Structure 1
Amino acid sequence: MMVVGLTGSIGMGKSTVSKMFADEGIPVFDADAEVHRLQGREGALVEAIEASFPGTTGQAGVDRGALAERVLAAPEALRQLEALIHPAVARAREAFLAKHAADPIVLLDIPLLFEKEGWRAVAKILVVSAPADVQRSRVLARPGMTAEKFAQILRQQLPDAEKRARADFVIDTAGSLDRTRDSVRRIAACLRAEATA
């Protein structure tokens, strides 16, 4: 099995690209989606997060905005949250890999692939990227996002230029969806050829 890592900074279009790979028949583990599940209504981490960060959960699960306010500017609080989340996501990822052990290629969609050393566990790295002005306009259009919050998030992430330099493939999402889909199809074909060689 070839394990491929997909990453990209906030607002680069990684979720869209991830779905395109799934449409190409490549099994995808979406770390963000797993975190949402763990923090959602009756999620496995809701109780532990409330115990560590009182007032950040409700009937719908974790209030992600309230939790972000609590941890983004507080490194120790962020480490405490990550100590809850990362082991749970790792268990889900291992279950995914076991389930797809017979597949020639699987894709791990991991936002902090470089930052949390996940790149060491993959054979190929795909980086989703767009120019900084495109990224900024996408992110600031999100509900509840502010320039300050965006800046805090960027400080937690490896700069885009460094990610691109370390990638096996870069997927530029500044153009049309069709152009991005064509790039995904070409890369999927290259990966399949290598995986079956």
Structure 2
Amino acid sequence: MKKIAITGGIASGKSLVEKLFRGKGVATLDTDKVVHGVLENNKEVIASVQKLFEGYEGGIVSDDGGLYRKKIGKIVFSDIEKLKALENIIHPEVKRIVEAFFVENSDKELVAVSVPLLFESGMEKMFDYVVAVTASDELRLQRLIKDRGMTKEDALKRMSAQNFGKEKLEKADFVIENNGTAEELRSAVDKVFEKIKAR
């Protein structure tokens, strides 16, 4: 089984690339969705996160016992130390779920996992290939404001906190540029898919 990590900056198009791989019969997993699930259902993680954000006005736990992700997002994207502390709580659980996904799909030829913070979490060691998805800052900013309804200020904070610079690009086995049309993206994914299959 060949394990592919899909990574890149926020709003670069990782989910689209993952979807295109899935359309080729590749088993896929989105760790953003994994994180959402962990923050809603994992009582140990919720308790640790609650402790981390103790004293914040109005609290961060919802009536149903889950966590207010938007509220947490606003805090951590303005406070890098808090962001790192939050990642240290969540990443071990995400790794465990990714490992379980590999076991579940061990009969597959290829699996692909979208991991925004691949290098920060040290998860790159779990994969055979790293596919980095890039897009211009202008385009990413536009997507965050238009598609995700963020203010320009919030979008810029998130882009800064999830910076995907040259040194990370150099660690990737393949780079897919997502500045063009949907057809150009599909074609780029096709090429990477064929190269990985042939290796």
Q: TM-score range by the shorter chain?
A: 0.7 to 0.9
Q: In the alignment, which residue of structure 1 is the partner of 2:7?
A: 7
Alignment of 1:22-37 (within 5 A): 22-37=22-37
How large is the RMSD of aligned CA atoms in angstroms?
2.1
Q: CA deviation at 1:6?
A: 0.7
Cα distance change on mapping 1:68 and 1:106 into 2, 3 Å: same
Q: CA deviation at 1:43?
A: 4.6
* Matched residue type, 1:72: F
> How many pairs are equivalent?
193
| Gap runs ≥5 in structure 2 | none
The answer to whether the Cα contact below 8 Å between 2:141 and 2:156 also exists between their aligned partners in 1 is: no
| Gap runs ≥5 in structure 1 | none
Q: CA deviation at 1:144?
A: 5.2
* Matched residue type, 1:12: S
> What's the secondary structure of 1:108's corresponding residue?
strand
Cα distance in structure 1, aligned partners of 2:137 and 2:167: 14
Q: CA deviation at 1:186?
A: 2.2
Cα distance in structure 1, aligned partners of 2:182 and 2:149: 25
Q: Could you tell which deviates more after superposition, 142-151 or 109-118?
A: 142-151
Cα distance in structure 2, aligned partners of 1:132 and 1:76: 24
* Matched residue type, 2:27: P
| 1:157 equivalent in alignment to 2:162 | yes
Alignment of 1:141-180 (within 5 A): 141-143=146-148, 145-180=150-185
Q: Could you tell which deviates more after superposition, 150-159 or 24-33?
A: 150-159
Cα distance in structure 2, aligned partners of 1:72 and 1:15: 21
Q: In the alignment, which residue of structure 1 is the partner of 2:74?
A: 69
Q: In the alignment, which residue of structure 2 is the partner of 1:188?
A: 193
Q: CA deviation at 1:32?
A: 0.6
The answer to whether the Cα contact below 8 Å between 2:30 and 2:115 also exists between their aligned partners in 1 is: yes
* Matched residue type, 1:52: L
Cα distance in structure 2, aligned partners of 1:22 and 1:99: 16
